[in-house]
Amino acid sequence: MPTLRPHSVFFTLLLGALVTLSSFATDMGLPVLAATAQSLGVSPARAALSLSVFIAGFAVGPLVFGPLSDRFGRRPILLGGCAFFALFGSLGAFAQSIQALLLWRTLMGIGAGTVQVLVLATVRDLFTGREARTKQAYVNMAGGIAPIIAPTLGILVAGFGGWRAIYGVLAAGGIVLWVVATVCLRETAPVSAHALSVRRTLANYACVMRHPVSVGNALVVALSFGSLFAFVSGSSLVLIGVLGASQRVYGLLFAVTSLGLVTGAFTSARLTRRGVSHARLIGVGVATTAAITVILLILSATAVLRLTTFIPLVVLANIATGVTRPNAAQGALEPMPEIVGVASALLSGLQMLVGAVASALAVSLFDGRTAIAMTATMAVCSVSAALVYLLVVRRAERAAITGGTMGSSVTRAA
C-alpha cells in the first residue's frame, strides 16, 4: 500500500479514522454502563467516571507529546499513541476492579489524545487558510460518523462478549490503525534543529497563550466540546433514566444527535469553499448553540422536557457545534506555523480538560429525576464559548486588522 497523497480522499479518511479512536472509546460503552457497574460492584455513576478519566488522560497526552512532535516529528509520536491506545485497551478488557479500569482508561486516553493532536498538527503542516479549514471540517465529518454507530456497535459487541469485549474491539481497532498509518503516512513536520528542553517548551506554550486569537479560539473549541461532552456523558442517564427511552432506542437517538455533528462539519466545509468567512461561521455557530442550550435548561428546570423536544434541539445544537469547531480549531493553529505541535497540544489539552470537568459535573450532579445537571453544564459552556469569541477573538481580530498585522505569524520562542 503506497504512501497516501495529502489531497486524496483516502488521506482524509485515514485522518478521520484516527480521530475516531476517542469517539469509539467513549461512546461504545455508554449503553452498557449499568452492566459494567454491576460487574465491578459499583454504582452506575462511579462506572461513568471511566468517561471522565479517559478525557483527563486525553488532555494530558497532547500537552506532553505535542511539543515532542515538533522536535522528533509527527509520525513516530502518532504511531506511539496508537500503540499506547491498543495496549491499554487490551488491559481494560481484563480489569477486575473499578480502580484498575479507571487506570487503563486514563492511559488509553493519553494514547487517543496523542493521536488526535498529531492529526491536527498534520493538517496544519500541510494546509493553510481556507484549504486548511475545509480539510479540518472534512476530517471532523469523517470522525463524526463514529458517534452515530458507536453505541449500537457497543450493544452488539457486548451482546456477544459482555462489556469486556468492547475493550478488545477497541484494542483491535488501535492495532489496525497503527498498521495502516505505519504504511500510508509520511512525515509532515518541518525539520527542526532545535534542542528539546523544558525551558523552550514552556516558552513556546507561553507564546501561544499570549496570542489572543490563538488561545481565544482554543477556548472556544474547548468550551464547545465541554457542552457536547456534558450531553455525551449524561445522555444515557437522562434519555434512559429520566425520559424513558429503552436501551435500543437510546442507541438510535444517540446516532441521530451525532448525525448533527456530521451535518455541521459538512456544511462548514461547503460554506468555506464558497467563501463564507470563518468569523461568520463561528459567530453564528456559537450564538446558535448558546441559545439552544439555554432553552434546554429552561425546559429541564420547568419539568416540561420531553424526548420529542429534547432530540431535535440537541440535533440543532450539534449542527451548530459541527460548524464552529473546525473553523475555531484552525483559527487557533493558523498563527503558529513554527510551533504547531505546541499549539495543537494546547488546543487538545484545553478541549479535553474542559470536557473532563463538564463530564464529571453532568454525571456527579445528576439527581436521578431531571436533566438539569446536564443541561445546565451545557448552557454554561456554550454561553461562555460565545462570550469568549465575542470579547476575546473578535476584538483581537479587529485590532489586528486595524493595525495591519492580521497576516503576521508567530516565530518560535527562544
pLDDT tens per residue across span 200-236: 878 888 888 889 999 999 999 999 999 998 998 888 8
- The owner of cell 451525532 is 258
User: Is the residue at 412 inside a domain?
Assistant: no
How many domains does one find in the chain?
1
| Per-residue pLDDT band at 193 (split at 50, 70, 90) | very low
Range of the domain at 278: 9-189+197-399
| Per-residue pLDDT band at 176 (split at 50, 70, 90) | very high
Compute the mean pLDDT over every residue in the chain, rounded to the nearest whole number.
86
What's the whole-number mean pLDDT along residues 332-338?
81
Q: Return the higher-pLDDT residue of 300 and 336.
A: 300
pLDDT tens per residue across span 64-81: 888 888 778 889 999 999
| Per-residue pLDDT band at 168 (split at 50, 70, 90) | very high
CATH number of domain containing 315 = 1.20.1250.20
Contacts 24+ apart (CB under 8 A), 175-179: 175/82, 175/86, 177/17, 177/18, 177/21, 177/82, 178/79, 178/82, 178/83, 178/86
DSSP H helices in 185-209: 198-209
User: Is the residue at 2 inside a domain?
Assistant: no
User: Is the residue at 1 inside a domain?
Assistant: no
pLDDT computed for residue 194 by the predictor: 52
pLDDT computed for residue 6 by the predictor: 83
How far apart CA 72 and CA 191 sit, in angstroms, is 9
User: Is the residue at 103 inside a domain?
Assistant: yes
User: Is the residue at 115 inside a domain?
Assistant: yes
Cβ neighbours of 122 (radius 10 Å):
27
User: Is the residue at 409 inside a domain?
Assistant: no
Q: Are the CB atoms for 57 and 105 separated by under 8 Å?
A: yes
Cβ neighbours of 404 (radius 10 Å):
8
Worst-scoring range by mean pLDDT, 138-152, 276-290, 384-398?
138-152
pTM over 0.85: no
pLDDT tens per residue across span 362-387: 988 888 889 999 999 999 999 999 99
Q: Distance of CA 107 to CAs 61, 282, 296, Å?
A: 9, 33, 34
| DSSP reduced 3-state for 368 | coil
User: Is the residue at 407 inside a domain?
Assistant: no
Q: Return the higher-pLDDT residue of 243 and 48.
A: 243
pLDDT computed for residue 192 by the predictor: 58
